[in-house]
């Protein structure tokens, strides 16, 4: 980390403390409070970490006011238009745009890690067929540490690299197997002649009874969805992966923890919740009823796919996703899709409503993604697993960055204690 550029003065009970201030290459300055408790005997208090930087990072930057998202400095709009998911994986992992031979080597390497240990097929059969695929993925990914012992030593750079490639390459296979298992169809093995996205679609939708040809436009849309979900600073699931890794846990356990956190409807589970909400709304004339519920403080209902901790402007991913939704539905000949009509009208009404304007609530990445995935033939239960497949490279990149950080120490927050002070035990006969 660079040397502090200035200092902040904190005065408590008449005593002043000088705190170093670090200036980033982009974004707000940060006040370094690492010595605060030792010097002033106080904690800071920030439930939900709304004003807290948990680490320094060079991977992804978000400007919530501008609606800007950069991966290693490259704007998400340019990556979505000009790049493809495995190249974005390289950029996130290694920090630069690869030359043609580097990219070819990287893609060939990952392609040869897409199969999972044959014994792991038995894991799936331990689940009920109606298990949510996220439950299956948490279980199977966590169990990978029981199979890939030669890539669990986080202190070995080579093992970290192999674990990274295995996880990124095997997540689509595991997600597709979870889907196939849930619909009672046989597993489809990965194919080395297909791109990452085409391979995923093939593993999900091919059946042994006939040839399955992946539509290149759908493969492109799938690849773009993966790119748009690849990484996003220190979001809840990435912070979970970092915290799990800070104890020295193996990479498979850390990614399983990230999958578990992503599942929540306030986070990665929002894409499933959003499509289910759009279906519940059903028709444009019911939108006012749901807008009223979203604004009602006594109603826990929130507009799924709306709002964001960081974006107080459009989520740039939602903008690209909306364009992609139109393209995919048009390609599939799905015109006047009622769900898309409701989504577009809901977005229009919400963005004109003073509640949403004041609270700076805009559509996020989850608002349109479900419409595309639904049109491609995925059940809503597969939406968050697809998010997990895409985000694995982000989790892994952040995991590697943290392990290489000389400041790394186990994450152990403190608290504002409001419970009982010390009191003596009372025997039951005296209570």
- Determine which one of 308, 335, 353, 405 is catalytic: 308
- Determine which one of 366, 374, 405, 424 is catalytic: 366
Residue 300-339 contact track with ligand SDX, rule CB under 6 A, x = bound: --xxxxxxxxx-----------------------------
Touching ligand SDX, residues 207-236 (CB under 6 A): 232, 235
Touching ligand SDX, residues 341-360 (CB under 6 A): 359
Q: Which two tokens stand for residue 80?
A: 């979505």
Geometric angle at alpha carbon 260, from 254 and 265, rounded to 5° = 145
Name the minimum Å distance from CB 321 to ligand SDX: 12
What residue spans of 229-337 are helical by DSSP H?
236-245, 251-262, 270-281, 287-295, 316-331
Touching ligand SDX, residues 65-104 (CB under 6 A): none
- Residue 58 DSSP code: S
Q: Whose Cβ is closer to ligand SDX: residue 54's or residue 185's?
A: 54
Residue 11's beta-bridge partner residues? 16
Name the minimum Å distance from CB 269 to ligand SDX: 8
Cα 176 from Cα 260, distance rounded (Å)? 18
Cα 400 from Cα 242, distance rounded (Å)? 9
Long-range CB pairs of 72-77, under 8 A, 24+ apart, other chains included: 72/96, 75/316, 76/227, 76/228, 76/316, 76/317, 76/320, 77/316, 77/319, 77/320
In the bound complex, which residue of the shown chain has the CB atom lying closest to ligand SDX? Answer: 307
Does residue 293 bind ligand SDX (CB under 6 A)? Answer: no
Q: Whose Cβ is closer to ligand SDX: residue 218's or residue 294's?
A: 294
Active site residue 232: no
Question: Which residue stretch of 145-153, 175-183, 198-206, 260-268 sits at the interface with ligand SDX (rule: CB under 6 A)?
Answer: 260-268
Does residue 365 bind ligand SDX (CB under 6 A)? Answer: yes
List C-alpha distances in Å: 243 to 207, 240, 351: 40, 5, 36
Question: Which residue stretch of 4-12, 242-250, 362-370, 397-405 sits at the interface with ligand SDX (rule: CB under 6 A)?
Answer: 362-370
Number of H helices, E strands in the chain: 18, 6
Touching ligand SDX, residues 234-253 (CB under 6 A): 235
Question: Which residue stretch of 32-40, 166-174, 210-218, 261-269 sits at the interface with ligand SDX (rule: CB under 6 A)?
Answer: 261-269
Name the minimum Å distance from CB 238 to ligand SDX: 7
Cα 70 from Cα 77, distance rounded (Å)? 9
Does residue 134 bind ligand SDX (CB under 6 A)? Answer: no
Kindly state the number of chain residues that form the binding site for ligand SDX, as judged by CB under 6 A: 22
- If one counts every other C-beta atom within 10 angstroms of the C-beta of residue 413, the result is 10
Of the candidate residues 266, 292, 357, 404, the single one contacting ligand SDX (CB under 6 A):
266
Q: Which two tokens stand for residue 326?
A: 């139109």
Name the minimum Å distance from CB 273 to ligand SDX: 7
Whose CA is closest to 234, among 30, 35, 23? 30
Q: Is 383 exposed, middle or buried, given 0-12, 13-18 or 19+ CB atoms closer than 10 A?
A: buried
Name the minimum Å distance from CB 116 to ligand SDX: 26
Of the candidate residues 110, 154, 201, 361, the single one contacting ligand SDX (CB under 6 A):
361
Active site residue 65: no
Could you tell me if 218 and 240 are in contact, meaning their C-beta atoms sit under 8 angstroms apart?
no
Touching ligand SDX, residues 39-58 (CB under 6 A): 48
Of the candidate residues 107, 223, 366, 401, the single one contacting ligand SDX (CB under 6 A):
366
Q: Which two tokens stand for residue 215?
A: 């539509």
Could you tell me if 175 and 200 are in contact, meaning their C-beta atoms sit under 8 angstroms apart?
yes
Q: Tokens 């679609």 belong to which residue?
A: 201
Torsion of CA 156, 161, 162, 164, to 10 degrees: 120
Q: Whose Cβ is closer to ligand SDX: residue 273's or residue 329's?
A: 273
Cite the active site residues: 308, 366
Chain residues in the site for ligand SDX (CB under 6 A)? 48, 232, 235, 266-268, 270, 294, 302-310, 359, 361, 364-366
């Amino acid at each position: 980390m660079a040397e502090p550029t200035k200092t902040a003065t904190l005065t408590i009970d008449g005593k002043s403390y000088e705190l170093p201030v670090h200036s980033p290459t982009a974004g707000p300055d940060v006040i370094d409070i690492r010595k605060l408790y030792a010097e002033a005997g106080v904690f800071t208090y920030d439930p939900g970490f709304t004003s807290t930087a948990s680490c320094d990072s060079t991977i992804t930057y978000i400007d919530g006011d501008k609606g800007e998202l950069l991966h290693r400095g490259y704007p998400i709009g340019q990556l979505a238009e000009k790049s493809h998911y495995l190249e974005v994986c390289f950029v996130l992992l290694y920090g630069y745009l690869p030359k043609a031979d580097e990219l070819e080597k990287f893609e060939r390497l990952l392609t040869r890690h897409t199969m999972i240990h044959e014994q792991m097929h038995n894991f799936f059969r331990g689940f009920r067929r109606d298990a949510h695929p996220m439950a299956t993925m948490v279980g199977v990914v966590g169990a990978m540490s029981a199979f890939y012992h030669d890539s669990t030593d986080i202190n070995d750079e080579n093992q970290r690299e192999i674990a990274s490639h295995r996880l990124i390459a095997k997540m689509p296979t595991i997600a597709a197997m979870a889907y196939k298992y849930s619909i009672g169809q046989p597993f489809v093995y990965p194919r080395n002649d297909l791109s990452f996205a085409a391979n995923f679609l093939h593993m999900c939708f091919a059946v042994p009874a006939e040839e399955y040809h992946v539509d290149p436009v759908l493969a492109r849309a799938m690849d773009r969805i993966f790119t748009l979900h690849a990484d996003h600073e220190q979001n809840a699931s990435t912070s979970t992966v970092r915290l799990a890794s800070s104890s020295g846990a193996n990479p498979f356990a850390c990614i399983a923890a990230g999958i578990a956190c992503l599942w929540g409807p306030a986070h990665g589970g929002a894409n499933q919740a959003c499509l289910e909400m759009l279906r519940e709304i059903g028709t444009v004339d019911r939108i006012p009823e749901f807008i009223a519920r979203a604004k009602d403080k006594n109603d826990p209902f929130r507009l799924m796919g709306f709002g964001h901790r960081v974006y107080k402007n459009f989520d740039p991913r939602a903008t690209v996703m909306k364009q992609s939704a139109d393209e995919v539905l048009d390609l599939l000949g799905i015109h006047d899709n009622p769900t898309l009509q409701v989504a577009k009208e809901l977005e229009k009404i919400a963005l004109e409503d003073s509640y949403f304007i004041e609270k700076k609530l805009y559509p996020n990445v989850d608002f349109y993604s479900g419409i595309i995935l639904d049109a491609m033939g995925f059940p809503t239960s597969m939406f968050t697993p697809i998010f997990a497949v895409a985000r694995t490279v982000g989790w892994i990149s952040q995991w590697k960055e943290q392990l290489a950080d000389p400041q790394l120490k186990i994450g152990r927050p403190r608290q504002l204690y409001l419970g009982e002070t010390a009191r003596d035990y009372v025997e039951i006969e005296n209570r």
